[in-house]
Amino acid sequence: MLVGMADSVHVARWLKNVLGESELEILIIPTSPHRFIHSDIRSTLQANRSSSSQVRIHSFLRYASLVIWLLDRPLLWGGRLRAIFLRDSIRKFKPDLVHIMETQNGGYAYLSYSDANSVKESLRTYKLVLTLFGSDLYWFSRFERHRHKLEKLLPKIDILAAECTRDIELAMELGFAGDVAPLSPVSGGLSPTQISKPDNDEEFFARDIIAIKGYGGTWGLGHLAIKAVAQNYEFLQDLKVVIFSAESKAKRAAKKYLRPLKIEYYLFPKFSLSHREMLALFKKSLIYIGLSKSDGLPASMLEAMSQGAFPVQTSSACTDGWFDPDVTGQLVDVNNTEEIHISLADLLRNRVQIRKAQKANLEMIESKYSTSTMSSQITYGSLLKL
């Protein structure tokens, strides 16, 4: 039983990767208010009849997840409503493994189920797996209400899947004592044909984009990246700025900082670019910038690196082992906007560093993010053996 967000690309890619295993029966329990079922999940559901695996989605939650999520907020049902759906699904489906992808929606709902079924929980016959998304622990454990829930949930988890040792260590501090799956990007990797080759001279000097992740919300700081780029306007005469996943703060920042300087820029709202279009954007980009207060292993950073763009990322992310700071990538302090400005200036003055970094980054991606070589690729079969 897969408990996760039905509109998540990470859930969609996980399904795609595990469906190579034969004779799986998977029931998807949506946990959050999806506006749509992710296209890859829809394709999987439509192709179900011709597959040796059986995949289906909860027939009621497929359409009613928004209503259920609204009713299940802390001041109303407080997670107990989704817990009822979990209870009934577990009783009827009788899973060998319950896989929760993301903690705050799926994990907390399971905690409500567990609290209401403590005797049955102690006698359960399935393994419980939790896959951490970017900020599940790193951000939320800072708040007392969330920390209390995490300290109750994590001791119940049999197997923990994470992207970096930071999150494993934090989980153990919060009471986790189970098995640890191999570290693996939650975004699932790229096929070998999607990973670029190093540029020749013509290709490298044709790169004319600075790509900025423009998300905001709780963690995203795309607007600070836009400001830092504008501060380096003297180096941008042959470059343009593309802001993807652009939310309201990023849009306002572009208008405030880029437009008066006549810096050429383009805004693409969240979900407006397909995955193929995102890779094409990164293939034309000299630099990728992702700034956030909290993150896991950013998929956009890895995919920018896969196309030869130089990564600039805040140290709040799980980047250990993926690039060499100050050599093949740049780590910046989210609280030091001047450092971001200076780092960008140094890169734009010295594009030779970007060129040199490209080969090493592509080799790293090929060895650790290609679906054909990922030694840490996790399957349901491997999880059941832990």
**pLDDT digits 0-9 by tens, 213-261:** 999 988 999 999 999 999 999 999 899 999 999 999 999 999 999 999 9
The CA-based angle 293-297-303, given to 5 degrees, is: 115
Highest-scoring range by mean pLDDT, 27-31, 58-62, 281-285? 281-285
Whether pLDDT at 50 is above 60: no
User: Would you state the pLDDT for residue 119?
Assistant: 66
**pLDDT the model gives residue 100:** 97
Per-residue pLDDT band at 22 (split at 50, 70, 90): low
Of the two residues 383 and 322, the one the predictor is more confident about is 322
Q: What number is the average pLDDT over the span 128-133?
A: 96
- Residue 52: what pLDDT? 59
Contact 184, 175 (CB under 8 A): no
| Average confidence score pLDDT of the chain | 91
Position 250 scores a pLDDT of 96
State yes or no: pLDDT of 375 exceeds 80.
no
**Numbered ranges of CATH 3.40.50.2000 in the chain:** 2-189+373-385, 192-368
Q: Say whether pLDDT at 383 is over 80.
A: yes
Task: Note the Cα 204 to chain centre separation in Å.
Answer: 28
- Produce one character per residue of 195-206: b if its CB has 16 or more CB atoms within 10 Å, e if not: bbeebeeeeeee
Is a pLDDT exceeding 80 seen at residue 122?
A: no
- Sequential DSSP letters for 247-271: -HHHHHHIIIIIGGGT--EEEEETT
Going by the DSSP 8-state scheme, the letter that residue 105 receives in this structure is I
- The angle subtended at Cα 208 by Cα 206 and Cα 213, nearest 5°, is 135
Q: What pLDDT sits at residue 49?
A: 58
Q: Alpha carbon of 79 to those of 124, 130, 156, 360: distances in Å?
A: 21, 17, 17, 46
**pTM greater than 0.85 (yes/no):** yes
pLDDT higher than threshold 80 for residue 266? yes
Residue 121 has pLDDT above 70, yes or no: yes
20 pLDDT exceeds 70? no
Residue 158 has pLDDT above 90, yes or no: yes
CATH topology of domain 2-189+373-385: Rossmann fold (3.40.50)
Specify the pLDDT at position 85.
93
Where does the pLDDT of residue 13 fall: very low under 50, low under 70, confident under 90, or very high at 90 and above? confident
Task: Give the tens place of pLDDT for each residue, 287-297.
Answer: 999 999 999 99
Question: What is the amino acid identity at position 382?
Answer: S
Per-residue model confidence as pLDDT tens digits over 168-207? 999 999 999 999 999 989 888 899 999 999 999 999 999 9
Please give the class, per CATH, of domain 192-368: alpha beta
pLDDT at residue 145 above 90?
yes
Q: At what angle do helices 337-349 and 222-230 cross, to 10 degrees?
A: 50
**Model confidence at 66: pLDDT above 80:** yes
Q: Out of 47-51, 140-144, 381-385, pick the least confident.
A: 47-51
pLDDT at 76 over 60: yes
Whether pLDDT at 48 is above 70: no
The answer to whether the beta carbons of residues 314 and 332 sit under 8 Å apart is: yes
Q: Tell me, what's the pLDDT at 19?
A: 76
Whether residue 374 is predicted with pLDDT greater than 90 in this model: the reply is no
